[in-house]
Amino acid sequence: MQPNTLLDAILDEAGISHAGLAAHVNQAGRRRGLALRYEHTAVARWLKGQRPRGQVPDLICEVLAGRLRRPVTLDDIGLGVPGQPATAHAGSLSGFVERATALWRSDEQQRPHVLGAPAVTGTPAVMPVWEWENPPEDVDVSRGGQLRVTEADIGTLRAARAHYEQMYRKTGGVATRTRIVGFLNAEAAPLLRGSYPDDTGRQLHRATGGLVAIAGICAYDSDAHGLAQRYFHQALRLAKASGDRGLGAYVIALLVNQSLFMREYRQAVAFAEAALRTAGRHITPALASDLYAMQAKAYAHLGDGGGALSCIRRAESAAGQIRPGTEPDETGYVQPGLVNVQVAEALLSLGELSAAREHAAAAVDTPAHDRGRVHRLAMLSTIELRQGNADKAVATAVQMAEQARGMESQRLRDRLRAVREYLVRCGSAGTADAAELIDGALRVPL
């Protein structure tokens, strides 16, 4: 069940409260001979994604149309009839833009039904990837709005993506998300609704897709997994509109990473295969290496050692072909050592501790941005503890805790807590001091 951000947005536009809508729906129902007794709690359920029964969706349209003095359809309020074709607008790129910007607005306003929504599984999770893979393509993405979009506007979006990515790497997703979502609402939304020819429109959708992907990363890092998934799905749709298969494959890599976290290992394997298959020659060595490495982790968790080792070899081969300066901005996260730490995690799951430590140590010895270094140190410390090297594990954990100070990231907190639990169980000399340092890093409020 997905939050109904379209209904939320149109209620805000109409200036009507939850209780007010319920009262007006009851009144409209009485005119049709219906005895309705809705309260604000019912509206809250509708906003969470529950579909009202019977004639109520039509009554909501009637109430809002009278308030806004314009026609309001079921698709406008996110209540198009399931199983029936949507209107041309609802299924079009312009309809998608309205749904996407409604989500940004709800996120910026910290709507609980949006922030707390769970991630979807099964067909709803797979369908956006299938739609990216398959026709129809967007033949023409031009639009006629009031604001004319220029190359300078697109340059601003690209620069913003780079800025927020660096902010995320330094401070974490919790603090960064509010800023990037505010930017999407203030800057990107008006441009998407603006005026542009097809070629400019494709550049615009690509630049916006890169920004939306970062918003999804920040939501994932904040433990808002349903919201993160919706951002990733949006970024995938924007990538399709841009015609850039490589961007779409990058977004799927983000979905693969989230699938691993959610322990949807078979889905992770399938998504990675879809990206590699569909993007084909548009897959860069950096992105291919990451996709293969994540597949290796998924296979390892599934107990398929042969599949994991095969993907490890492919990941290492692709990593050897990376040429600095030839990759798109989005794959900049695939820094030297990333594949090593991914492979170390896969080998750890397979019980290959010596090989896992070799890869983890190589990752730590390679320069990385602040966030990446914390993850690498956490992996090395975990492996050292599993090997019984308590002294080395403590020293590594101390470095990790010092590096993590000041970062607002739920994912990093998870890693810190996991290492702390291992240290406490170990109980060797120095573990108490290391655990205290980790506690200090964990005291940063989220």
Q: How much of the chain exceeds pLDDT 90, in percent?
A: 66
pLDDT at 331 over 60: yes
Verify cis geometry, omega within 30 degrees of 0, for the bond prior to 57: no
Q: Lowest-pLDDT range, 72-76, 327-331, 365-369, 421-425? A: 421-425
Buried residues in 141-164 as b, exposed as e (16+ CB within 10 A): bebeeeeebeeebbebbbebbeeb
What percent of the chain stands above pLDDT 70?
Answer: 96
The pLDDT tens digits of the residues spanning 1-52 come to 788 988 998 898 888 999 999 999 999 999 988 899 999 999 999 999 899 9
pLDDT-derived band at 91, boundaries 50, 70, 90: low
Average pLDDT of the segment spanning 194-219? 98
Give me the mean pLDDT over the 184-193 stretch: 96
Interatomic CA distance for residues 40 and 23, integer angstroms: 9
C-alpha closest to that of 342 among 352, 356, 331 = 356
For residues 144-156, give the mean pLDDT.
96
Residue 419 has pLDDT above 50, yes or no: yes
Q: How many other C-beta atoms can be found within 10 angstroms of the C-beta atom of residue 194? A: 19
pTM: 0.86
**Residue 87: band (very low, low, confident or very high) from pLDDT cuts 50, 70, 90:** very low
Q: What is the mean pLDDT of residues 113-126?
A: 90
Q: How many CB atoms lie within 10 A of CB 375?
A: 21
Whether the per-residue pLDDT at 72 is higher than 70: the answer is yes
Between the two ends of the chain, the Cα-to-Cα distance in Å is 27
Mean pLDDT of the 367-394 span: 89
Contact 203, 242 (CB under 8 A): yes
Distance CA 387, CA 393 (A): 9
The predicted-structure confidence for 217-276, as pLDDT tens digits, reads as follows: 999 999 999 999 999 999 999 999 999 999 999 999 999 999 999 999 999 999 999 999
Q: How far apart are CA 198 and CA 243, in angstroms?
A: 11
Report, in angstroms and rounded to the nearest whole number, the Rg of the chain calculated over CA atoms: 24
Number of Cβ within 10 Å of residue 445's Cβ equals 5
User: Does residue 167 carry a pLDDT above 60?
Assistant: yes
Is the separation of the CB atoms in 286 and 331 below 8 Å? yes
Judge whether 177 and 222 are in contact, CB under 8 Å. yes
Report residue 83's pLDDT band, with 50, 70 and 90 as the boundaries.
very low
Q: Is the distance from CB of 77 to CB of 60 less than 8 angstroms?
A: yes
Helix or strand holding residue 424 (H, E): helix 410-426
Kindly write down the DSSP assignment for every residue of 291-320, as one continuous string.
HHHHHHHHHHHTT-HHHHHHHHHHHHHHHT
Nearest CA among 111, 101, 371, 331 for reference residue 224: 111
State the DSSP H helix or E strand holding residue 167, giving kind and residue range, or none if neither. helix 151-171
Residue 148 backbone phi and psi in degrees, to 5:
-80, 125
Q: Average pLDDT, stretch 156-167? A: 97
Name the residue with higher pLDDT: 216 or 396.
216
Average pLDDT over residues 48-58: 90
